Chains A and B, each alone.
Chain A
């Protein structure tokens, strides 16, 4: 009554057929699990990561509260100085051999713009000896900030991390 048309070959052919099937499966998995290779970074370049967290200066200086103002403040918030939270953005310029490779600003974080500014930028540069200058202005665009200069020797695929610890320059360089 019921015709079940199983096309699978009998005897040795049955095992050869399955071997071929599993072989195809294995080749597919084996190959694409680690191939083709992918190279996303040129061998003749080094990578600079400019990344730091730095709080800009407050936009308005703190002021002393008067006795009358203090009287109107709840006990738990009686702080003698009033400090508006908003901070300046941090203006950053990075020069490589006196040529600007990055110029931008990092806005202060937080809804009240009272948190630190963060930056994370990457640049590909040719290997070799370079003079790096990092200029940071954290008190408005027109007011002087601070700068650091350093000499670095980079090889192909090296990663140079430029960070700040407070205002001090921190360079992360490959160990030789």
Chain B
């Protein structure tokens, strides 16, 4: 059921991302830095808020006047700061919502990611409450509307003895201390929000919390120019004896009030509870699919910490060995955090170079697809190809469905993540696996479903990250091309071009060793 909603959304996101590639380039594509942009916008809001706090007067008359002074008389600084505060806050809601929708569309909210998703729900509401709280401080007609409607909305639950809305009955009802309370809330709530934003990332290893400098500068300049050209201004001062005529509503934060107007308080409360409840149970709604978590083989693990470094979810921890092994540490998998992506298998050095053992046993492996099984699958797949340039195509189950491709001379295998491929397997396929070329693809460039798989593969092949690719073959025989699902046609064309290019490469048959089956009968099952 959810798949019917996700698939068109995923397609739309991928098309949008390809469009943004053209505008911003892949490296600065804002769609890949939505979470980091949320943090960036938060810091702009926080920094500008410090100045606003300094000039703000916590009284009925002073609240409006102090903001009006910086807006009108100090437009060149205070006014810009105020506008930045507003627009960065709006940008924060926008990036947060797109981030949420994208994580849903790309199915990045279930499995081991449930924790981040669940923590994201209070973040959402805290963000909206912070914004409403902020608009209240200005004490203009918009603030008056928010104050009265919020009080009436809360009063729908008869939990308070005296209706809160009575505090806004007449001009005399409101005291200066009310604004002290509001400013306290406007500091405390964002701090709580920041705490939740921090917790949100606790099960993510190497989370991106800063956008690239170019994107950060561009975003800031955009907000700054917007603040200069279209400065934020107040409504007329609040007057509790008149209903405001027209409200220039900030729809990013205040969308709830027209809903209350249209539906009344009860249905809106039901909607809020319903949406919150749905978001909270979504990670456990069908279809649920969990692969068995990675398993450490103590005899093979040498405690090198590479799997610990590379795991995107922090699911591998290192512990002191107590089994008498000469190695000091051993990797231990936290099964609750393991997504079974296999990135740890790809970096484990115990199979470098890939040995001729009957049974490959790595330091860490996936029970559902061991490296031994993987080697057998790819060798068998290549063996079935006709004569001519033969290519083994490694793909990711979360990206273009490579197994559905039917390209002559190309055998395919889909992995939980392309990051599962050990560099030694690439060399092995050229050396003993019968392949003339190896093609790797996976989720769109920089957008690995498991966050770091694509990056690790590139760095391993480039020789900048252990475990390095060591091969005597021309590196032109190994080709990498990340492709989003929406980019399948381009990928297919690139695979064909790569296959055809192999015929033009220098002859390297002297490097090819006899195949396993023919030479020494080693098992590859």
Contacts and interface: CB of A to CB of B under 8 A. Distances in A.
Interface residues of A, number: 50
B165 interface: yes
Given A29-B91, A40-B247, A172-B241, A3 B22 contact: no
Interface stretch (B310-318, B374-382, B408-416, B471-479): B471-479
A21 B20 contact: yes
A14 B241 CA distance: 55
A147 interface: no
A22 B245 contact: no
Given A25-B222, A118-B163, A1 B21 contact: no
A29 B226 contact: yes
A46 to B, nearest CB: 8
Nearest to B498: A3
A32 interface: yes
Interface of B, secondary structure class, is helix
Interface residues of B, number: 66
A120 interface: yes
B243 interface: yes
A2 B25 contact: no
A18 B218 contact: yes
B241 A173 contact: yes
Interface stretch (B45-53, B55-63, B249-257): B249-257
Nearest to B253: A33
A2 B241 contact: no
Contacts of B90: 29, 32-33
A53 B247 contact: no
Interface of B: 18, 20-28, 30, 86-87, 90-91, 94, 145, 152, 155, 161-163, 165-166, 169-172, 218-219, 221-223, 225-226, 230, 232, 239-252, 257-258, 261, 445, 458, 461-462, 475-476, 478-481, 490, 494
Interface of A: 1-9, 14, 17-18, 20-22, 25-26, 28-30, 32-41, 43, 47, 49, 51, 53, 109-110, 115-116, 118, 120, 157-159, 161, 163, 172-175
27 contacts: A1-B475, A2-B461, A2-B462, A3-B494, A6-B26, A7-B18, A7-B25, A8-B22, A18-B23, A18-B218, A21-B20, A25-B30, A26-B222, A26-B225, A29-B90, A30-B87, A33-B86, A34-B232, A34-B250, A40-B261, A41-B243, A109-B161, A120-B152, A120-B163, A161-B170, A163-B170, A174-B241
